[in-house]
Amino acid sequence: MAKLAVKILRYDPEKDPAPHHETYQVEYEKSTMVLDVLFMIKDFVDGSLTYRRSCRQGICGSCAMRVNDRERLTCYTRVAEIIGENGGEITIEPLANLPVIKDLVVDIGPFFAKYKAIKPYLIHDPNKPVPEKEYRVSKERTTHLQQFGACIQCGACYSACPILGSDDDYLGPAALAKAYRFANDPRDDARAERLKIVGNEIGVWRCHTIFNCTEVCPKGVEPTYAIQQLKRMTVQRKLGFR
């Protein structure tokens, strides 16, 4: 077991005048994840430490936080792998761009409101006949769409995007990537409607290809790629072809 200094941003908006870092000393070994460190501190050092977690296996998206200046899933991040980044110290902070409820817990409501706004479900045109057999989608298209469907809504991309730092109305990478996943689905009949929702200054035009979202996504969704495709689709529709 090796020693570790952990700096955590503590903040209770009702009590504290400002967020402040507090340092804790713990021990870790080869298999310790950052989430394990949080458990250790809450269980044995300071029971008031507040954070979100659930599956502890990188699929629920609850535990996304900023670790050593980078958005990560704490259950998926091994201490031993990041110990060299900051001189033997680990810093844990809450996600950015969302209101802090307490300590490492943020209000993820706005993130999901924007997700809902892009209509993340297939829409069937009632005037079109239902096919006799099943909808056929090619293997290539399915594989392509699965990349953008792999999002676990952890909020890492939302926190990493600098545009959301200055503009709260921007829909954000996760919502836009999902919008692309549905706009590009051959079974969907509502592409025009979807492009109206995203083809404006709070949607795709706010993306300046900063690529932070692509770099921090734990599932490899590549929202930047999806947003560029949505831009193309919007322009094509505006200019009258496709």
Answer whether 227's CB lies under 8 Å from 173's CB. yes
218 lines the binding site for another protein (CB under 8 A): no
Distance, in Å, from the CA atom of 58 to the CA atom of 126, rounded to the nearest integer, reads 38
Asked whether position 68 contacts another protein by CB under 8 A, the answer is: yes
Is there binding between residue 14 and another protein (CB under 8 A)? yes
Compute CA distances 106 → 44, 209, 210, whole Å.
24, 26, 24
Q: Are 82 and 148 in contact (CB under 8 A)?
A: no
Nearer to another protein by C-beta: 9 or 123?
A: 9
Q: Is 85 among the residues that bind another protein (CB under 8 A)?
A: yes
Residues from 122 through 141 that contact another protein (CB under 8 A) = none
d(CA 238, CA 195): 10
Among 30, 124, 187, 208, binds another protein (CB under 8 A): 208
**Ramachandran region, residue 240 (left: φ > 0; alpha: ψ -120 to 50; beta: rest):** left
- The residues that touch another protein, with contacts defined as CB under 8 A, are 9, 11, 13-14, 18-19, 66, 68-70, 85, 93-94, 96-101, 106-107, 109-110, 113-114, 162-163, 165-170, 195-197, 199-203, 205-206, 208-212, 214-215, 222, 224-225, 228-229, 231-232, 234-235, 237-239
